[in-house]
């Protein structure tokens, strides 16, 4: 498959969710020798997934740019791509800080005090832990919807992606897992369609 990032991105994000929601969160009494590797592995999975999502976002943006039928539509594609990129940078920054906190801490209890030093930096919470990281999936979802409207991707994987992104945004464990699986299916289908039809809009190939 040409667009491997379409598989890597949601797959590693799902691994991160499973590690944090089923390993770290429900087991506060884990020995630090087990807890730190778990925290680190889950966050590294998140980092890999989000970096791969950068390639996904770029590919979606390029499809939208090339298929735009008016300056207004092209402008909307550029705005969504830029907003998604800003959200992605904020999310990756958040994960890097979490990793640094884990490496510096000597126990789970130490993490709050160490993390507080970062959160005391003016504007830090707003950019890295506020609504800005969520802009990544929000903007990407709208870009996918636009691509579906223009026939660049099929409607059902676009709808599945949108629903999956909303589910992840709830931050509820069951819905996050379901949403991660939805993104895995949706992006895999989009990548396969692109490998078959190249740059020809879905439904327009003869």
pLDDT in tens, 65-121: 998 889 999 999 999 999 999 999 999 999 999 999 999 999 998 998 899 899 889
Angle ∠(189,163,73) on CA atoms, nearest 5 = 75
pLDDT in tens, 124-134: 998 998 889 99
pLDDT reported for residue 178: 97
pLDDT of residue 195: 62
Tally of CA atoms within 13 A in the half-sphere of 133 that contains its CB: 17
What pLDDT score does 197 carry? Answer: 43
Domain boundaries, the chain: 5-197
DSSP the chain: ---THHHHHHHHHHHHHHHIIIIITT-TT--HHHHHHHHHHHHHHHHHHHHHHHHHHHHHHHHHHHH--SHHHHHHHHHHHHHHHHHHHHHHHHHHHHHHHHHH-SSTTHHHHHHHHHHTSTTHIIIIISSGGGHHHHHHHHHHHHHHHTTSS-HHHHHHHHHHHHHHHT--HHHHHHHHHHHHHHHHHHHHHHHHHTTSPTTT--
Q: Can you give the pLDDT at residue 134?
A: 93
Task: Give the pLDDT of residue 2.
Answer: 55
User: Where residue 203 falls among pLDDT bands split at 50, 70, 90?
Assistant: very low
Q: Is the pLDDT score of 199 beyond 50?
A: no
């Amino acid at each position: 498959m040409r667009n491997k990032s379409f598989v890597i991105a949601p797959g590693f994000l799902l691994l991160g969710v499973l590690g944090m929601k089923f390993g770290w969160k429900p087991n506060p009494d884990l020995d630090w020798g087990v807890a730190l590797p778990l925290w680190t592995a889950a966050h590294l999975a998140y980092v890999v997934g989000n970096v791969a999502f950068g390639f996904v976002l770029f590919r979606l943006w390029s499809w939208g740019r090339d298929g735009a039928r008016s300056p207004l539509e092209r402008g909307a594609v550029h705005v969504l791509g830029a907003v998604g990129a800003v959200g992605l940078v904020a999310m990756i920054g958040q994960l890097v800080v979490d990793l640094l906190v884990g490496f510096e801490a000597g126990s789970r209890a130490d993490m709050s005090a160490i993390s507080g030093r970062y959160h005391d930096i003016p504007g830090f919470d707003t950019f890295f832990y506020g609504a800005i990281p969520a802009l990544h999936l929000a903007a990407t979802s709208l870009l996918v919807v636009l691509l579906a409207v223009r026939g660049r991707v099929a409607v059902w994987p676009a709808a599945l992606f949108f629903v999956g992104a909303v589910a992840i945004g709830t931050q509820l464990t069951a819905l996050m897992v379901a949403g991660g699986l939805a993104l895995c299916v949706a992006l895999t289908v989009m990548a396969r369609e692109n490998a078959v039809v190249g740059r020809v809009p879905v439904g327009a190939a003869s």
